[in-house]
Chains A and B, each alone.
Chain A
Amino acid sequence: MTVVPTEAETRPLVAEPSAPRRPFSALNLVIDIVLLLFCVLMLLPLLFLISNAFKTPQEILAWPPTLIPHDPIVSNFTAVLTTTPLLRWIGNSALFATLSTICIVATSSVGGYIFAKFKFRSLHAIFILFLATAIVPFEIYMIPLYFQAQQLHILNSIWGLLLGYMVMGFGIFLIRQNVEQTIPDELLDAARIDGANELAIFVLIVLPLLRGALAALAVLAFFQAWTAFAWPLIVGTTKDSYTIEVGLALFQTGFTIDLGRLSAASTIVLVPSVVLFAILRRNFVRGITATGLKE
């Protein structure tokens, strides 16, 4: 399980505008068209959803379905916002995702650094154990974890949600690889000779060098919690404690008929997700590709 340092690390993944352009050719045009069509196809479901959110109840039931609302209305949005605590659910999700991110970044940075730079056999055994948990899907131990949350009386709360998402085995692995590749032992030894203590070395030297990797991990962790479903579904049983995913899912089983409102609620959820992704895209892409590079 060694990570091959790849060029992804050194080359920007998302093409830079300054990259050299190939001369125009018919083949390029065809490829662009194919790719463009494919992209439209990928986005189409989401565009449908947004379009439905603006349709009148009559138009939603019309056949054949219309792609662009004839007579756009916003009453679906106002109805959803006044009848469901949608904003509260979005807030719950954001808070949960933020706290989870903080925990995961903290534990992964410390753990990754220790495992990378303190080569003791006992530590290596612990590392293997941590790594093994990364392979086990969450769904497998979700039910016992639920009973732990129950004993701690933290069901229906952010803390209950957080219990399942405090650590990430893969995060420790990611940071360990990063430390090994980017922080030379000599740098740390030099600091030790200068009399710096271990804590100072970690905080003042290692952490700043890890900013990039930690940012990528942070975005990964944030979206992992933001899109979590099964765990929030069992931990939250009161309306106030739902995350946005759960709130929406229960909303749809409770009010199946009102497609317009469902679409409006979904649109309200989609927008912050896509915007956040747009802002953090680069970090996100880096984090995701890093997951793929363990060979």
Chain B
Amino acid sequence: MLARRQWLFAMAALLPILAIFAWVRFYPIEETLRMSLHEWNLISKTRPFIGFANFQELFGDELFLTALFNTTVIAFGTLAITIPVGMGIAALINYRLGSRLAGVFETTTFIPYIVPLVPAAMAWKWIFDARLGPLNAFLSLFGISPLSWLFDPVLSVICVIVLCAWQAIGYAVLIYVVGFRNLPTNVFEAAKLDGASGLQAFWHVAVPLLRPITLYVSVVTLISGFNVYAQAYVLASDAQGAPGRQVRVLVLDMLENSFRNYRVGYAASEAVILLAIVLLLTLVQFSLLRERGAR
């Protein structure tokens, strides 16, 4: 009887939330899956079912493959910078935990993560500017001739990676600082007694113990890396009269196919690919953790 009353209360309280979720999450996700099997040009009344034709076309579509490639490079590139730098800086901050400055360091590294992206990207755009930017001015001090950061196909991708990493590092530092703080101190002391130096203890004790944190930060960084859009939009957008190389990324290609090429179904199939990647990454994270838990 009591259980039944509680169940009724729970359902009554949950129902509105369930309705909202169904409305703004379940249904649109289902629509994406459904539309990926259809052809629709945004303005016509009919939406013929075309099976997997969109997906077939995707894998012969060079713009999509470029976007997929760029996005993957950006995601893993960001990861490659974020993890070591984040872990290193967090270790140093952790070492100086007693200092008055620790809080300042932590907060400062975090600011890039919270500032709105567009103004931040604007700042980076100027830094990378081939003719006016301080980066080339700085490099010229070492006799390096100016590089065209935002125009070169390889360099422009690197620029996006730097911007993404700049934002992601603060988050990684924060999580790692918590991780370091939660490491059992006696393990370090034991290592020290065995004659290990601070650096050795860091490498052989802390890094392995932090594996779950590293895994978590990696997956979060990768997933947000695969969703990169605003960074590329501002840094390398195709504004009229403002030449610069467009770094084609998945979300950009998706929006362009939907709202510029009027191929909503085709864009939905791109979204499904993106979804598959994200699910795969999450799956990898869980299975690695489970494996570790089983041991």
- Are any A and B Cβ atoms less than 8 Å apart in their complex? yes
A residues near B, CB below 8 A?
Answer: 1, 6-8, 11, 13-15, 17, 19-22, 28, 31-32, 34-36, 38-39, 42-43, 45-46, 48-49, 52, 60-61, 63-65, 67, 107, 110-111, 114, 118, 120, 123, 126, 129-130, 133, 135-145, 147-148, 163-164, 166-167, 169, 172, 198-199, 202, 223, 226-227, 229-230, 234, 244-245, 248-249, 252-254, 256, 259, 262-263, 265-267, 269-270, 273-274, 277, 281, 284-285, 288-289, 291-295
Docked-complex contact B31 and A11, CB < 8 angstroms: no
Docked-complex contact B108 and A39, CB < 8 angstroms: yes
Residue from B28, B115, B213 within 8 A of A144 (CB atoms): B28
A-side contacts of B37, CB under 8 Å: none
A-side contacts of B79, CB under 8 Å: none
Docked-complex contact B119 and A266, CB < 8 angstroms: yes
A-side contacts of B120, CB under 8 Å: 45-46, 49
Known contacts A107-B20, A139-B271, A141-B31; A114 and B13 CB within 8 A of each other: yes
Docked-complex contact A263 and B122, CB < 8 angstroms: yes
B-side contacts of A11, CB under 8 Å: 181
Known contacts A137-B274, A248-B118; A8 and B29 CB within 8 A of each other: no
Known contacts A45-B123, A230-B230, A288-B171; A198 and B9 CB within 8 A of each other: yes
B77 within 8 A of A: no
Q: Select from chain B the residue with minimum beta-carbon distance to A278.
A: B107
**B270-287 interface bits toward A, Cβ cutoff 8 Å, 1 = contact, 0 = none:** 011011001100100010
Docked-complex contact B24 and A123, CB < 8 angstroms: no
Per the 8 Å Cβ criterion, residues 74-133 of B in contact with A are: 89, 92-93, 95-112, 114-120, 122-124, 126-127, 131-133
Q: Select from chain A the residue with minimum beta-carbon distance to B176.
A: A292
Known contacts A15-B99, A31-B96; A114 and B271 CB within 8 A of each other: no
Known contacts A63-B131, A292-B216; A7 and B99 CB within 8 A of each other: no
Docked-complex contact B275 and A295, CB < 8 angstroms: no
Q: Select from chain B the residue with minimum beta-carbon distance to A281.
A: B107
Q: Select from chain B the residue with minimum beta-carbon distance to A277.
A: B114
Docked-complex contact A139 and B123, CB < 8 angstroms: no
A69 to chain B, nearest CB (A): 14
Docked-complex contact B122 and A266, CB < 8 angstroms: yes
B205 to chain A, nearest CB (A): 18
How far, in angstroms, from A67 to B105 measured CA to CA in the complex? 23
Known contacts A253-B239, A269-B116; A293 and B178 CB within 8 A of each other: yes
How far, in angstroms, from A271 to B117 measured CA to CA in the complex? 13
Residue from B98, B134, B170 within 8 A of A21 (CB atoms): B98
B206 to chain A, nearest CB (A): 16
Docked-complex contact A8 and B178, CB < 8 angstroms: yes
Docked-complex contact B258 and A143, CB < 8 angstroms: yes
Which secondary structure dominates where chain B touches chain A?
Answer: helix
How far, in angstroms, from A48 to B125 measured CA to CA in the complex? 11
Q: Select from chain B the residue with minimum beta-carbon distance to A162.
A: B24
Docked-complex contact B108 and A139, CB < 8 angstroms: no
Docked-complex contact A167 and B24, CB < 8 angstroms: yes
Chain B CB within 10 Å, residue with most, of A229, A245, A273: A229
Known contacts A6-B178, A269-B116; A145 and B122 CB within 8 A of each other: no
B-side contacts of A248, CB under 8 Å: 116, 118-119, 122
Known contacts A42-B111, A45-B123, A111-B14; A133 and B96 CB within 8 A of each other: no
Query: How many A-B contacts are there with CB distance less than 8 Å?
Result: 293
Given contacts A14-B102, A141-B29, list 9 more A-B pairs with CB under 8 A.
A48-B126, A48-B134, A49-B126, A120-B7, A198-B9, A227-B114, A230-B251, A253-B239, A295-B212
Known contacts A8-B182, A42-B112, A46-B123; A256 and B217 CB within 8 A of each other: no
Q: Select from chain B the residue with minimum beta-carbon distance to A19.
A: B98
Docked-complex contact B175 and A137, CB < 8 angstroms: no
Q: Select from chain B the residue with minimum beta-carbon distance to A272.
A: B116
B78 to chain A, nearest CB (A): 15
B233 within 8 A of A: yes
Per the 8 Å Cβ criterion, residues 182-232 of B in contact with A are: 182, 212-213, 216-217, 220, 223, 226-227, 229-230
Docked-complex contact A42 and B170, CB < 8 angstroms: yes
How far, in angstroms, from A62 to B223 measured CA to CA in the complex? 40
B169 within 8 A of A: yes
A153 to chain B, nearest CB (A): 16
B53 to chain A, nearest CB (A): 19
Docked-complex contact B119 and A270, CB < 8 angstroms: yes
Q: Can you give 25 A-B contacts (C-beta < 8 A)?
A: A15-B102, A32-B99, A35-B89, A36-B101, A36-B105, A45-B166, A46-B111, A48-B134, A126-B14, A135-B278, A137-B226, A137-B275, A143-B32, A143-B267, A144-B31, A248-B116, A249-B118, A252-B122, A262-B122, A263-B122, A263-B126, A265-B119, A273-B115, A277-B111, A285-B174
